[in-house]
């Protein structure tokens, strides 16, 4: 019984869609998925853990979605006060926080709040064991993006390589 439950959860870690970053997801592709609303994770998806500032491109992305008729609601495990501040910065969008993902509570509330069935909501986040698991458990569309931290590490690795190459070329 326990192994059955574990297997089910394991299968639920698989996202429906994979993207590198949030801004790679267009309103057009969201609509093609049959999605009517977006549930958005914050930490490591929009900004680094614990941070209060993020790239302006994310506010633009939220605005573009809203203008295309796709409401965006934050579903974050962060504390209420931080979610409140960040939701204002993202254009005054609604939020559920703390959502206790992988609990489906946040998505359930979002579905009720927006009057849109969970199956028509896409949960976008960086973590399989919270964002993707919650989405798959409730039958929402699950979209995984690479975490900000991961992306920065990759970039840092590349620039380190470049630096080493530059150093070698100066020695030669």
Interface region with Mg ion, contact rule CB under 5 A, candidates 16-24, 45-53, 86-94, 96-104:
45-53
Instruction: Please state, in angstroms and rounded to a whole number, the distance separating the CA atoms of residues 145 and 132.
Output: 10
Of the chain, the end-to-end C-alpha distance in Å amounts to: 65
Choose which of 126, 134, 140, 144 interacts with Mg ion (CB under 5 A). Answer: 126
Q: Which of residues 127-146 bind Mg ion (CB under 5 A)?
A: 127
Residue 111 vs 127, nearer CB to Mg ion: 127
The SS3 call for residue 22 is helix
For 38, which DSSP code?
E
Among the residue ranges 6-14, 15-23, 36-44, 50-58, the one whose residues contact Mg ion (CB under 5 A): 36-44
Stretch that binds Mg ion, among 59-67, 109-117, 119-127, 162-170 (CB under 5 A): 119-127
Of 43, 78, 123, 138, which lies in the binding site for Mg ion, with binding defined by CB under 5 A? Answer: 43
The tokens describing 71, both together, are 């409401």
67 Rama sector, left if φ>0, alpha if ψ -120 to 50, beta otherwise? alpha
| Cβ nearer to Mg ion, comparing 37 with 145 | 145
How far are the Cα atoms of 10, 38, 51, 134 from residue 95, in angstroms, in the given order?
Answer: 28, 11, 17, 16
For binding to Mg ion (CB under 5 A), which residues are involved? 41, 43-45, 126-127
């Amino acid at each position: 019984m326990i192994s059955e439950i574990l297997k089910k959860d394991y299968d639920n870690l698989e996202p429906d869609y994979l993207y590198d970053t949030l801004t790679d997801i267009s309103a057009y592709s969201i609509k093609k998925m049959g999605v009517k609303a977006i549930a958005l994770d914050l930490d490591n998806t929009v900004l680094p853990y614990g941070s209060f500032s993020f790239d302006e491109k994310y506010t633009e992305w939220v605005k573009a979605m809203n203008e295309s008729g796709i409401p965006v609601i934050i579903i974050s495990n962060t504390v209420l006060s931080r979610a409140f501040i960040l939701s204002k910065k993202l254009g005054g969008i609604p939020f559920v926080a703390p959502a206790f993902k992988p609990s489906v509570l946040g998505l359930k509330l979002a579905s009720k709040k927006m009057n849109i069935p969970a199956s028509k909501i896409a949960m976008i986040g960086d973590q399989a064991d919270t964002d993707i698991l919650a989405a798959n458990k409730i039958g929402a569309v699950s979209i995984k993006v690479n975490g900000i931290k991961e992306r920065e590490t990759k970039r840092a690795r590349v620039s380190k390589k470049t630096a080493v190459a530059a150093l070698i070329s100066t020695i030669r």
